[in-house]
Chains A and B, each alone.
Chain A
Amino acid sequence: MKESFPLIWIPLLPLLGAAFNLLLGRKLSRRWVHTVAVGTVFGSLVMTLFVLRQLYAGWDSHHHTMVTLHHAVFDWINAGAVQIKFGLMADTLTGVMLFIVTFVGALIHLYSTGYMDHERDYARFFGYLNLFMGAMLLLVLGDNLVVLFLGWEGVGLCSYLLIGFWYDKSGTQKLGLENANAGRKAFIVNRIGDLAFIIGMFILFAAVGSLDFADLSAAAAQGPQGPLMSSYAPFGFGPFSLAGVAALFLFIGATGKSAQIPLYVWLPDAMAGPTPVSALIHAATMVTAGVYMVARMNFLYMLTPSVMAVVALVGALTAFVAATIGLAQNDIKKVLAYSTVSQLGYMFMGVGVGAYAAGIFHVFTHAFFKACLFLGAGAVIHALHHEQDIRRMGGLKSSLSVTRLTFLVATIAIAGIPPLSGFFSKDEILWKAISTANPAAPWLGPVIYVLGMAGAICTAFYMFRLYTLTFEGKCRLSAEEQAKIHPPDWRMATPLVVLAFGALVLGVLGLPGLFGEHANFFHNWLAPTVDQGAKFAALAIPGAHVTPAILSKSHGAEGGLMALSFAIALLGSVIAWRVYNKGPSVWARNLTDRFRGPYNAIYNKYFVDEFYFLVVIWPFKKIAWLLWKVVDALIIDLLCVRGSARIVDLMGRLVRQFQTGSVQHYLAGLLVGVGVILYVVAQPPDDFRIRANSIKAAGAPLKVLVGERVFFDARRPVDKAMRALEYKWDFDGDGKVDEPQAPTQQKGQKEQAQRWSKRQMANFIYKKPGRYRVVMDVRDTRWHTQARETQVIDVIDPNAPKVPVSGSSTHGKGVH
């Protein structure tokens, strides 16, 4: 069912707020700025609640049906086969994302009014933040891939702007471009992903002829004969299934946006931005766009088990690798950043095994506890005047009690300890992971499960390490600094409390199957949207069970694994607590000393940044330089372009040698020249040919009809002496000059013989049949030379009885 709803206002409100603040905010008071900024986002939140109400009213939990809200705003890009509409759509999946974005976004806007209070560029910050909200809402509302991509790049832009918000703050680097560099890195790495994304779009467009989700899923529903299942050789390699290639390219795009291996490197650097930005963009919303995209395109991914395996494997690997890096970081925000990368890995693991509801549920819970963690970290940083090193913190639980409490709740949630929300969402993913049956990779389930569990124990460890080093033990700050610590005001505390409450209780929305068939509200809510892929896949790939179906009925196994994951989480937490609750411990230092190599690798993020510099950035710069200096400046410009000019110049110099200025040389040259000219011009005419009727009949007699007008032409192809030539024509060989004609009453025959004319061309009509000889005399008036040219003409009477004409002797008259 489709219903119409003015969805455009949801993104438009923050966009208008952004325009207002960016255009006018500089001149206005802070009150205006944050009233508009926060007000527009709350407006979007209210509209979202209306949308959710409408969606809920149209949702049938038992039959898994729903209404979708549509808003066709206008035709966007129309050219020939390309018909892209600016259309928005909201279904249950969009509803969840809308709620996350607007709810968490509104809280973070509120928080930012406190956090950025003393900031000079207050209006610019809120302008960017509103712009981000608008772009993110477009991303989740778009009803085709191009509108999604519009939001996708828009959020990337805002990420760039906000990471580089303090564009001239000098960090460790000399030039003070640290933040700007981080922003640029984020933008460019994202663009690399986007390159793959648009190629994926093109492949789909070439196959389906549309990029609307509805049309694409209709193509997926066509089963094995559908365009998406056709075999495909991208760039000449192959064949693969088209769906697989497109899905893989789109997923590479998602690894950029959602910071997965191999494109995750930008996210830790992105922590250079203000902390509310890290909470909103780099934890709760933007980075989950990739997960959303895969869930949205579930009908495509379900058609290609091998790409699903890639998605799950990349997710699991990222979850594990990022978690290990998180073990050794000392910057409070860097720990959270790697934790985000790791958690995003879990989400991809979920959607990669076809458990879209579980993946999105983790997006949902993660938005709460990770935003809470970031905002808590922000409160700490704010209170400590931009101190971010956890080794210098400690004992903050007394001075920052609200922050500490909410931070602890969120830590327990992310560590995966029941009954907080993180446990349910993460455990759901792990459960679906081990019970997956992927026909392309039967080994997938256990592998990703082990990776996930290993990541889980690391998560619990580094999160409690972070918590204890920050809040427990003794304070390691100087007394002076301790005196300056101030607790967050209400604008910052309220969001913390609300988010922590969410992290505490929202697990009930996604209770595992253990609690009954319909206990998992979240799964049922998303089922109408994300289960269609499974149906299409069953149609398209007979016999393949991509859906995690095998073990999912076994409550015993599920319960056992739940206990195991609880135990793992508890173990990690307890170890961290024991090791760090009195500050950085001797035991930990000994441990790192013993394993210096692995520790260094982890501490330096496995040297991935350095590796990329060596194989990508450095060669890029060198190639660019070489192309400029060698190819462009040297080969093309100097050798070819200026070289040709130099050759002309040289020729000029050569010819200049003749310009000696000496009269004798010139005179000698003049004489030689005159001689040459005379020799050439004075050649008497000798190469005349008479053409009759444009035919140059060399020697052979020319046949014409009686009464036909014959055109004669004595022009030479190149006639240098044309004006000096005079002609006499005798057409019938009787010795009398026919052309020029005798004037009627003119002197005598004698004179007539002397007449010449300039006529090079003449015409004549033969009235009697026979053979004639045409004689042309030509003379050169300059040199008084004369030449004669003849041509034989056979005149035939078409009416006469046929006489075999062959040769001259047969003809009665003979030659005149």
Chain B
Amino acid sequence: MLLIAILAIPLVGAIAVALMPRKDEQGARHMGMVFTLLTFFVSLALIAGFKISDPGMQFEFSVPWVRSLGINFHVGIDGISLWLVLLATLLGPIVMLSTYKAIDTRVKEFVASLLILEMAMIGALVSLDLFVFYVFWEIMLVPMYLMIGVWGHGAKIYAALKFVLYTLVGSLVMLVAIIYVYVSHGAATGFYTFDYMVLTQSVWGEQAQIFLFLAFAIAFAIKVPMFPLHTWLPDAHTQAPTAGSVILAGVLLKMGTYGFIRFAIPLFPYGAAVWAPYISGLAVIGIIYGALVAYAQKDAKKLVAYSSVSHLGFVMLGLMAMNEAGVTGSLYQMLNHGISTGGLFLAIGMLYERRHTHELDQFGGLWRRMPVFAGMFMIIMLSSAGLPGLNGFVGEFLILVGAFTHHQGVAGTDLPIFIWHSRLMAGIAAIGVVLGAVYLLHLYQKLMFGPITQPKNADLDDASWREILTFAPLIVLIFAMGIYPKPFLERMEPAVKLFLKEYKVKYKASEGYTGQQPKQLASLSRSKYALPALSAPRAGIVAKTTMAGGKAVSPKVPKIVRPKIVPPKVVRPKIVRPKVRPRGGAAPAPRTPRKRISPEDMRRIRRQMQQRGRPPGRGGRGGAG
């Protein structure tokens, strides 16, 4: 219920703000502040109630939403999503605080969008139902689209359209894959559901996994964004208002990486292994490419936007290493990137409020006028550059160690993750650490050092208390996460271990499996919300008949033994049908040729039928023989 509350508070807030009088701008801001803060404080209860040693889903909650389609409103968090949820709820008030001066038109609409966006982001992070996830995933687009298009600057309409269309293309590919997963799982088991905790217990055939993973990966890779699908990002960032950029960099981009770790890899481990070399190759290219292009920028916001491409390359590289260090590192780096890049955007936004430009050449020598601001900027910049002792280092170190030692990874198995030598990949990626220092110091020097050359800069104000307050939580986290990451890492650890264990089990199960339909694995952990029928799968396959018009249903039809299909080694999936189908859905019956029934079988079946009695609705129709 806690998660429902965390989802509901911003939604209620958005409605409340929307109902406020238009003129009361300050009131709308305060209202937004109250609701984001409330969300944050309630979300702190997640840490308090989180069981560190429990690798599974916690705070789980599930109610049927669309019963006929098997859609449950199923939410829950584990060590993987816990901190991302908190990052989202933390950035809420910070962003809200940053908009007090920056947004002065259509304030209440802005606040409402922000709250809806927060709700959607949290929703996407906690949902354990593919359909619910997809809904939240798409809802995220709308407020962001408005933020860029309405409160942005420059070519804002272009940027907003590009953002939405680009992301949508990927999302639709994912939607197709989700529907395929739903239908094929339903066809195989008779249990039509979008529930992640149920779907994740099946593995699809090799070929299907390769395509399904690709479909998911395209959607997520656009969101990450990975090279070469990144060009929407600089535009969106540059034209978006500060708050939009911070949310975009802080949480929205993480949805891509989170999607990989939560959905794409666990559902299609074989596909992940097949694509991993290419993904990590693109990640490494992205690291170097993003850094180089960032250095060439003349616009501060674009520079930081391209640096995101570089940083998220690290995240993807760690993820694809598929060992504990790498995955933990990328989870940690997701948080770090949210904090440090979010902070950089905040800082650049503050400069924009003063000078209404992002051009690097318009600045220089700001330190003399703004020492406090410069100091805070420096800490955030160094965190982004991965200085040891600050948060960025922990993530980058773990990622690089993970990538470097990946083949010693998953409990000694040697998975074909990299085509290229993993050490070379890690080595090249490490160059990104040097390049990170190059472009960040370049940015800092252009803004802060040197004498003041522009007369407009000569009388800038230093950071106000509001701005210091905006930065303070980020800076505290930067130090805390760099010096003492244990509270974060120890909560991730069991979930990451479980993730890797299931990855390994499912990879082994799907290796060499060429069947058309998914098969279920009994050895995986289950949610308490997984249906009881699933925990005791019956042997054999029961055919079902659905009469047209949905009138007659015969659950007790003879059991038919399926013929063996080549290759003979393949184990048929153990598939089970629920005891009562809720409604006559449009489920196609499996269309495989059937073997004749032997007379012995026929007699046995008849006996069984007589014992059970004929089902109703079929009595009087024997037909005239």
Contact = CB atoms under 8 A, between A and B. Distances in A.
Contact of B297 (A235, A628, A760, A799): A628
Interface in B352-379: 364-365, 367-368, 371, 375
Contacts of A154: 387-389
Interface stretch (A364-372, A598-606, A765-773): A765-773
B622 A765 contact: yes
Interface string A179-196: 111001001100110110
Contacts of B375: 22
Interface string B581-614: 0000000010101101101001100100000000
Nearest to B367: A167
B437 A202 contact: no
The secondary-structure label for the interface of chain B is helix
Contact of A199 (B297, B430, B591): B430
Given A79-B328, A157-B382, A763-B623, A202 B292 contact: no
A493 to B, nearest CB: 32
B625 interface: yes
A205 B401 contact: yes
A168 B368 contact: yes
Contact of A76 (B433, B448, B485): B485
A198 B594 CA distance: 62
Contact of B547 (A76, A79, A761): A761
B176 interface: no
B597 A184 contact: no
B455 to A, nearest CB: 15
B222 to A, nearest CB: 11
B404 interface: yes
Interface string A601-639: 000000000000000000011011101110110001100
Contacts of B293: 624, 627-628, 632
B388 A153 contact: yes
Interface stretch (B10-18, B273-281, B418-426, B512-520): B418-426
A168 B451 contact: yes
Interface stretch (A442-450, A465-473, A670-678, A701-709): A701-709
A192 B434 contact: yes
Contacts of B591: 694
B404 A202 contact: yes
Contacts of A695: 593-594
Contact of A176 (B228, B451, B486, B489): B451
A120 to B, nearest CB: 10
A736 B388 CA distance: 91
Interface in A197-242: 198-199, 202, 205-206, 234-236
A184 B292 contact: no
Contacts of B297: 628
A234 B445 contact: no
Contacts of A82: 324-325, 398, 401-402
B493 A79 contact: yes
Contact of B602 (A199, A627, A798): A798
B596 A78 contact: no
Given A170-B451, A206-B404, A695-B593, A711 B437 contact: no
B473 interface: no
Interface string A1-30: 000000000000000000000100010000
B441 A188 contact: yes
B296 A711 contact: no
B231 A637 contact: yes
Contacts of B430: 195, 198-199
Nearest to B605: A708
Contact of A184 (B296, B441, B492): B441
A627 B489 contact: no
Given A176-B451, A177-B450, A732-B624, A74 B596 contact: no
A666 interface: no
Contacts of B448: 167
Interface in A44-84: 74-82
Interface in B217-236: 228, 231-232
Contacts of A81: 323-325, 405, 408
A645 B165 contact: yes
B490 A78 contact: yes
- Tell me which of A157, A628, A645, A693 has the highest count of chain B C-beta atoms within 10 A of its own C-beta: A628
B404 A188 contact: no
Nearest to A715: B548
A487 B492 CA distance: 62
Contacts of A78: 486, 489-490, 493
Nearest to A234: B423
A625 to B, nearest CB: 5
Contacts of B445: 177, 180-181, 184
Interface in A683-727: 693-695, 703, 705, 707-708, 711
Contact of B296 (A77, A176, A628): A628
B434 A202 contact: no
A738 B441 contact: no
A191 B434 contact: yes
Contact of B589 (A176, A192, A694, A738): A694
Contacts of B497: 80
A400 interface: no
A552 B445 CA distance: 53
A521 interface: no
Interface in A767-800: 767-768, 798-799
Contacts of A764: 623, 625
A765 B619 CA distance: 12
B228 A180 contact: no
B400 A202 contact: yes
Nearest to A120: B368
Interface string B389-431: 1000110011011101100100000000000010110110011
Contacts of B388: 146, 149-150, 152-154
B400 A198 contact: yes
Contacts of B166: 641
A375 to B, nearest CB: 27
A75 B486 contact: yes
A80 B289 contact: no
A631 B289 CA distance: 10
A164 interface: yes
Nearest to B437: A191
By Cβ-Cβ distance, the 6 closest A-B pairs, closest first, are A80-B324, A767-B625, A798-B599, A180-B449, A79-B328, A764-B623
29 contacts: A22-B375, A76-B485, A78-B490, A80-B497, A82-B325, A82-B398, A167-B367, A167-B450, A168-B452, A176-B365, A177-B445, A180-B449, A184-B441, A202-B423, A206-B405, A235-B427, A627-B292, A628-B292, A636-B231, A703-B596, A705-B597, A705-B602, A707-B606, A731-B623, A731-B624, A732-B625, A736-B624, A764-B625, A765-B625
Given A82-B324, A703-B596, 15 more contacts: A79-B489, A153-B388, A154-B388, A170-B451, A202-B400, A202-B426, A628-B297, A645-B165, A694-B589, A694-B591, A695-B594, A705-B597, A738-B624, A763-B623, A766-B625
